A and B are shown apart, each in its own frame.
Chain A
Amino acid sequence: MNSSRVASPLRTIVAHELRTLRREGTFSTLLGIFSAVTLFAVFIGWSTRSTTLAIYAATVATLKAAGVSHIAPNPLLGVSTLAIFNNLIIYTLLVGALLAIVIGHRSFVRDRKSGVVPLLLSRPAGRPLYIAGKLCGINVALLLVILGMFVVSALSTLFIPALHLSGGEFLSLAAFYAVSFVYLTFFAAIGLLFGVYMSNESLALLAPVLVWIAVVFILPELSTGQNPVSLLNPVTLAHAPAASGAFFSSARAILSPFSFGQDYTALALHFLRISPGPFDIGAILALAAAGVVAGAACVFALQKYSTTADQIA
């Protein structure tokens, strides 16, 4: 490594974060899990779609044999090929968020456990920059993982002729991954936030997991009245009627600004062309804002962080 001039502290921290993630094997584990999950989703989507197409052919044959003259056109023609990726929405919504939490959590806890936090904070870079560097590093890693998922899905659509995508659909798929990335940054940031904020390692890991449960289960349940398991089916989600009653409508009104799990799902359903609704600009703003607020909270938490409190605790 040639370093003949002063490297910017931000770049140094980002590079360090990435190197550590790679060395620990965390990055390859993540990439492996996400690629496998993508392949699996494609396989499920493809086999279901091709079976459904075969069932259509069988249905046509059966109806013709029964003497039916007017046979409805294949209803799948109205469903975009992109819908085969629909399971990825749930995988990202749930496990993607959990994995992002682990990365954020480890990022600070690793430094704390190896005793370098006081050392790092005594460097001229300053606390906000330290957090910014960590968040950038984590997000670059997540972006690479998301890119990996995109490449895996793009390759699978190229190699399976039945899954051919048009140019527009390709862009839409890319937009889906971009939104997924924004969604994950929020969880990485709260993983880091609680890692900084709580000196008890167990609570520091559990707290963001509880936030995750609130965002992807409790808030949607309170505003839709759906049971937790029904919240796991993207097709049901896209077409579920809103629950009626004063309780649910007021819950919706109060909780909607915080329901970015639902914001993500809505955007993902839109980009994968499962949901017929229009593009919701508010949802993407809410998602991005959540990530930024969580990141800013990390800086605030580190300002309050006291190295001696850590030793006393």
Chain B
Amino acid sequence: MTSPTLTIAKKEYRDSARSALFITLAGFMVLLTTVSILVASFNFQAEVAQYNAALSQLTAAQRAGAVIPPPSYYPLLMLRGTIEYLEIIGAVLAIVLGYLAVAKEKGTNTSRLLLTRPVSRTALVGGKILGTSLLILTLLALLEGFIALSITAIGHVAFSTVEMLKLTLSFAYTYFYLLFFFCFSAALTLFFKDLPRALLLSFALWLVFVLIIPQIGDTMDPDNQVPGGFFASMHTTQDQQSVIIAQFQNYENFRNALEVSSIEKHYERLVFATLGIKGMYNDKSLSYIMGDKWPDLALLMALYVVGVGAAFLFASNKRIMASSP
């Protein structure tokens, strides 16, 4: 006998995997990945062309002794754009999915029927979350396969085992990140009786936690306020700059505090370190990266638990049955 949770999860998974919605989403994520990998490869090509031009100039100038380092190719670095898309767009899509998961059931006769079956509410909500988790994992697995194939095709170099492991780990983190947004918007949609209001608020919170706060380091950086950089235009030395910045430690702390309050920042730091997109972690072992980045992972997990918890908390019979046309 299968548990009711599994029955619901299976049904949720089967329903969604066959739906036009899932197929559209999967197709679109593949498109985004293709675009970002293409752009990365063309950027790299431009870099190589520039290098070759510089090299031939040097040769023409008969300065054969001069050495400029050739651009080095790291396949995982090609994924920066893809990860950024998962960060921004993945979160929006997870929000839309979470909203729709509740909106399609809320106040319908089917949900009334479900609630009269001898199934606990925990099993019901758990089943839905499990089903969606499987769906997101399927989508991520498809995407990872696609990435491995296309990067191999473009660069003519297959991923090494370690690289593949790093990629898989990054996608596992992505699952936690996306499910947080799914649960979060599902919880909001359960909480508010008015469906459009729930969706508007989900998008607004996405704006705050995915766009505003993580970008604050950039947008509030005094050096960024002047084209070409503030300090560069003042002709200060590096030492003088540090002395001056030290006087504004409170501002810097405030900026940093805002930044770390966003789940996206932790996800980004974790994945950028794992994939080596953040330069200092390039070619480092997984255990080294883990040793450094475990607080980000812990926070990501904690927020995931909070998201899932909120979905359970708000899924009361009253809220599920509240009709809202």
Task: List chain A positions with a Cβ less than 8 A from chain B.
Answer: 24-26, 29-30, 33, 37, 40, 44, 47-49, 51-52, 54-56, 58-59, 62-63, 66, 71-72, 75-76, 78-79, 83, 86-87, 90-91, 94-95, 98-99, 102-103, 106, 110, 113-114, 200-203, 205-207, 209-210, 213, 217-218, 221-222, 225, 227-229, 232-233, 235, 238-239, 243-245, 247-248
Contacts and interface: CB of A to CB of B under 8 A. Distances in A.
B219 A233 contact: yes
The B contact surface, by secondary structure, is: helix
A66 B38 CA distance: 50
Contacts of B80: 227
Nearest to A274: B227
Given A206-B24, A233-B224, 7 more contacts: A29-B201, A55-B248, A56-B234, A59-B231, A72-B233, A202-B100, A218-B31
B46 A205 contact: no
A51 B254 CA distance: 12
Nearest to A239: B227
23 contacts: A26-B194, A37-B204, A44-B220, A48-B220, A48-B225, A58-B248, A63-B236, A63-B240, A76-B230, A79-B226, A86-B219, A95-B203, A95-B206, A103-B196, A206-B21, A213-B28, A221-B35, A227-B39, A228-B84, A232-B211, A235-B227, A243-B42, A243-B46
A239 B228 CA distance: 9
A37 to B, nearest CB: 7
Interface hub of B20, B96, B225 (most chain A Cβ within 10 A) = B225
Given A110-B325, A200-B20, A245-B45, A54 B248 contact: yes
A98 B210 CA distance: 14
Interface string B198-210: 0111011011000
A106 B45 contact: no
A200 B24 CA distance: 13
B90 to A, nearest CB: 11
Nearest to B218: A233
B87 to A, nearest CB: 8
Contacts of A66: 240
Contact of A52 (B194, B200, B225): B225
Given A33-B200, A37-B207, A233-B215, A205 B96 contact: yes
B84 A72 contact: no
The A contact surface, by secondary structure, is: helix
Given A44-B220, A209-B96, A229-B88, A95 B248 contact: no
Contacts of A98: 92, 203
B325 A114 contact: yes
A206 B196 contact: no
Given A102-B199, A228-B36, A235 B81 contact: no
A154 B272 CA distance: 40
A91 B96 CA distance: 19
B222 A52 contact: yes
B156 interface: no
Contact of A244 (B46, B207, B235, B325): B46
Interface hub of B20, B31, B85, B234 (most chain A Cβ within 10 A) = B234
B230 A229 contact: no
Contacts of A247: 38, 42, 45
A217 B39 contact: no
Contacts of B88: 217, 228-229
A243 B204 CA distance: 32
Contacts of A113: 325
A33 to B, nearest CB: 5
